[in-house]
Amino acid sequence: MEMFEISGGRPLYGSAVTQGSKNSVLPILAASLLGGGSEISNCPDLSDVDTALRILRRLGCDAWFKNGVVTVSPTGREAVDIPDGLMREMRSSVIFLGAVLARSGEAEIYFPGGCRLGPRPIDMHLAALEKLGAEIEIDGGRISCRAAKLRGAQINFDSVSVGATENAMLAAVLAEGDTLISNAAREPEIVDLQNYLNKMGACVRGAGSNVIHIKGVRRLHGARHSVIPDRIAAATVLSATAACGGKVELGRCHPGDMGAVLRSLREMGCRMEMGSNKIVLERKGRLKAPRPIVTAAYPGFPTDAQPLLMAASLTAEGNSVFVENIFENRYAQVPELRRMGGTIITSGRAAAVTGVERLMGAEVEAADLRGGAALLIAAMSAKGKSRVAGAKYIDRGYQCPEDVFASLGAQIKRIEVKDAEQQQKK
């Protein structure tokens, strides 16, 4: 088991580039099942990507990662089932359901695993597939889907769901006739999926709005595609710079996709300059508490960035308020941040942070991906040494975060648990 060892209190200076989007590449890899050979570039090297590649191999594809490029090729054999063990490794593994069903006319998966963020029902995924003509049976944790022929339909989601929107898109592109998805998710990752599907020969339009129209086609082919930058990874670097102080230029990012996060960082006193593909953030002096941060579907404040801004707010002057509307268990990082001296009170979906002068290093443990990133941010801004256990969660969404932050002047390294135990004995 690995952890991060950090000696905090150092400002961040320099430049970094943003990795490819985790939340974009996973549905794109699922979509690659639907055509011939594809080449996906700007792919981040993440444990979730590795899991997705193993799922593709299980389903009958050759799938390989090298130097940021994934190559996917059909082998001629098709499997339709994803074992329980693979499903449990990744929370978004359910995204393969629509693609397998569209390709093979049947699919058998298990309920997904991943970070413990509270209930994430897949009822909307299944209801959308039923609208398209799928017959679904649930036996314990196993989900079996069959459809002799998928047919276009009108799908109106009761609430916004990124995953359900993506699954509906993946199934509908090969359905007979037209599909209209209403109350669709509007995230940039949905637009990226649309662009990839259209390169494969699909006919999809409207992504980025709340209505997506899909005209089904008989077959798709392979395509080359470059994944968009990861707006949450970008927010992580910017939040760390805000927390630690300094000045960082972040390249290969899309500022237009990050409006809500950038507004909150400005309210905290950060100075920013932006270009079409870069952000320069500078923080001098003490941060100030922002206006209440309330998570919402895009273009609202992203739930994935809430823990990051919470970590930065720990030493901000005044009281910061957070309201989490997406996941029930998005405050798993709070007890660990308190160990570092953070003053945080939670009540249901709300959290109040009273800024302190300084955080102190501590032994803490990540319980989920973004909460783990928040612990890294807090540890880099704290006085003294910290150890952040649970690197496996952070590796699900960040490519070598220790290298990124070390290049900006942070004193951070990855160590094995045995190494840490030996250092404690000394």
Mean pLDDT of 50-55: 96
Give the DSSP letter string of 266-326.
Answer: HHTT-EEEE-SSEEEEEE-S--BPPSPEEB-STTSB-GGGHHHHHHHHTTSBSEEEEE--S
Which pLDDT score, from 0 to 100, does residue 114 have? 45
Domain spans, the chain? 2-19+229-425, 22-226
Which of 43, 115, 145, 244 is catalytic? The answer is 115
Q: What is the pLDDT of residue 29?
A: 98
Give the mean pLDDT of 309-324.
Answer: 98
* 27 contacts 170 by C-beta, under 8 angstroms: yes
User: Any idea what the Cα angle at residue 338 is, between residues 395 and 18, rounded to 5°?
Assistant: 30
The Cα 113–Cα 311 span in angstroms is 26
In whole angstroms, give the CA distance from residue 128 to residue 138: 15
The pLDDT of residue 15 is above 90: yes
Which tops the pLDDT comparison, 142 or 383?
A: 383
Nearest one of 227, 135, 157 to 189, comparing CA atoms: 227
Q: Among the CATH numbers 3.40.50.620, 3.40.50.720, 3.65.10.10, 3.20.20.80, which is that of 22-226? A: 3.65.10.10
Residue 264: both structure tokens together? 């909150």
* DSSP bridge pairs for 406: none
Residue 322 in contact with residue 311, Cβ under 8 Å?
no
Report helix, strand or coil for 16: strand
CA distance to 104, 106, 172, 414, 417, per residue, from 148 (Å): 9, 8, 14, 50, 52
Give the Cα separation of 30 and 110 in Å (integer).
16
Is 61 marked active-site?
no
E strand or H helix that includes residue 314: none
**Angle between helical axes of 259-267 and 231-244 (0-180°, round to 10):** 10
Reference 194, options 215, 219, 218; nearest CA is 215
pLDDT of residue 118: 43
Q: What are phi and psi of 295, to 5 degrees?
A: -75, 145
Q: Mean pLDDT, the chain, as a whole number?
A: 94
- Report the candidate in 129, 195, 163, 208 with the shortest Cα–Cα distance to residue 26: 163
Give the per-residue SS3 of 33-92.
HHCCCEEEECCCCCHHHHHHHHHHHHCCEEEEEECCEEEEEECCCCCCECCHHHHHHCHH
Q: Summarize the confidence of residues 17-21 as an average pLDDT.
A: 98
The pTM of this model reads 0.95
The confidence band for 424, taking pLDDT boundaries of 50, 70 and 90, is low
Can you read off the two tokens belonging to residue 92?
């978004």
Each residue of 330-370: pLDDT tens digit? 899 999 999 999 999 999 999 999 999 999 999 999 999 99
Q: What percent of the chain has pLDDT over 70?
A: 96
Which residues are CB-contacts of 349 (< 8 A; sequence separation ≥ 6)? 323, 324, 325, 328
- The CATH code belonging to domain 2-19+229-425 is 3.65.10.10
Tell me how far apart the alpha carbons of residues 330 and 35 are, in angstroms, rounded to a whole number. Answer: 37
Q: Is the dihedral of CA 124, 126, 127, 128 positive or negative?
A: positive
Which alpha helices (DSSP H) does 105-204 contain, by range? 123-131, 162-172, 188-199
> What does the alpha-carbon distance between residue 376 and residue 406 come to, in Å, rounded to a whole number?
12
Our CA angle for 23, 29, 31, nearest 5°, is 105
**C-alpha–C-alpha distance, residues 53 and 34, integer Å:** 15
Equal CATH topology for 2-19+229-425 and 22-226? yes
The mean pLDDT of 305-325, rounded to a whole number, is 98
Segment holding 137, helix H or strand E: strand 135-139
Task: Please tell me the distance from the alpha carbon of residue 229 to that of residue 245, in angstroms, as a whole number.
Answer: 24
pLDDT score at 77 = 87
Task: Determine the Cα–Cα distance for residues 37 and 7; give it in Å rounded to an integer.
Answer: 46
Give the mean pLDDT of 310-329.
95
What average pLDDT score do residues 221-245 get? 98
For the chain, give the number of residues. 426
How many Å is the Cα radius of gyration of the chain? 22
Model pLDDT for residues 55-111, shown as the tens digit of each residue: 999 999 999 999 999 999 989 889 999 999 998 888 788 999 999 999 999 999 988
Structure tokens at 25: 């590449």
The per-residue pLDDT for range 106-159, each reduced to its tens digit, is 999 988 754 444 444 689 999 999 999 999 999 988 999 999 999 999 999 999
Q: Phi and psi dihedrals of 167, rounded to 5?
A: -65, -40
